[in-house]
Amino acid sequence: KHEEELDPRIQEELEQLNQPSGQINKLELQLDEARSSYRRILSDSARNLNSQGSQLGVCIDKARPYYEAHRLAKEAQQETQKAALRYERAVSMHTAAREMVYVAEQGLLGDRNTMDPTWQEMLNHATAKVNEAEEERFHSEQEHQRVTQLCQEAEARVQTLQKALKKVILKSKPYFELKAQFNHILEDHKARVFLLEEQVAKVKTRYSVALRNLELISEQIHTQRGRMRATGRRPSVCGGRSSPVGAEAGVSGVENNWADGEKTRLWVERHRESGWGQREQPVAEPAGSDCMSLISLQAIASDLEECDSVEHLGDMNEAGSVLSEEKGGVTKEKQESFIKQHHRSVSL
What pLDDT does residue 160 have? Answer: 94
For the stretch 192-241, pLDDT in tens is 999 999 999 998 888 888 888 888 888 888 888 888 888 865 434 333 34
Q: Minimal CA–CA distance to 275: which of 295, 291, 297, 301?
A: 297
For the stretch 189-204, pLDDT in tens is 999 999 999 999 998 8
User: What three-state secondary structure class fits 137?
Assistant: helix
Phi (first) and psi of residue 84, to 5 degrees: -65, -40
Q: d(Cα 72, Cα 145) in Å, to the nearest integer?
A: 17
Share of the chain above pLDDT 70, in %: 63
Residues 334 and 219 in one domain: no
For the stretch 40-79, pLDDT in tens is 999 999 999 898 888 888 888 899 999 999 999 999 999 9
Residue 124 above 80 pLDDT?
A: yes
Residues 251 and 225 in one domain: no
Residues 300 and 340 in one domain: yes
Domain count within the chain: 2
Q: d(Cα 267, Cα 271) in Å, to the nearest integer?
A: 6
Q: Alpha helices of the chain — where are they, by DSSP H? A: 8-56, 59-110, 117-164, 166-233, 247-273, 287-317, 324-347
Radius of gyration from C-alpha coordinates of the chain? 53
**Is residue 237, in this structure, part of any structural domain at all?**
no
**Is residue 238, in this structure, part of any structural domain at all?**
no
For the stretch 67-110, pLDDT in tens is 999 999 999 999 999 999 999 999 999 999 999 888 888 887 77
What pLDDT does residue 39 have? Answer: 94
**CB contact at 8 A, 165 and 62:** yes
Residues 209 and 166 in one domain: yes
Question: Residue 129 sits in which domain range?
Answer: 8-229
Residues 38 and 172 in one domain: yes
What pLDDT does residue 111 have? Answer: 66
Residues 45 and 191 in one domain: yes
**Is residue 235, in this structure, part of any structural domain at all?**
no
CB atoms within 10 A of CB 177: 12
Give the C-alpha distances (Å, rounded to integers) separating 168 from 70, 71, 172, 174, 182: 15, 17, 6, 11, 21
Residues 310 and 341 in one domain: yes
What pLDDT does residue 266 have? Answer: 64
Residue 299: burial class (beta carbons within 10 Å; 0-12, 13-18, 19+): exposed
Residues 215 and 253 in one domain: no
Residues 219 and 100 in one domain: yes
**Is residue 3, in this structure, part of any structural domain at all?**
no
Q: Residue 283 contacts by C-beta under 8 Å, 6 or more apart in sequence? A: none
Residues 56 and 204 in one domain: yes
Report the mean per-residue pLDDT for the chain.
Answer: 74
What pLDDT does residue 287 have? Answer: 44
Highest mean pLDDT pick, 37-41, 118-122, 239-243, 330-334: 37-41
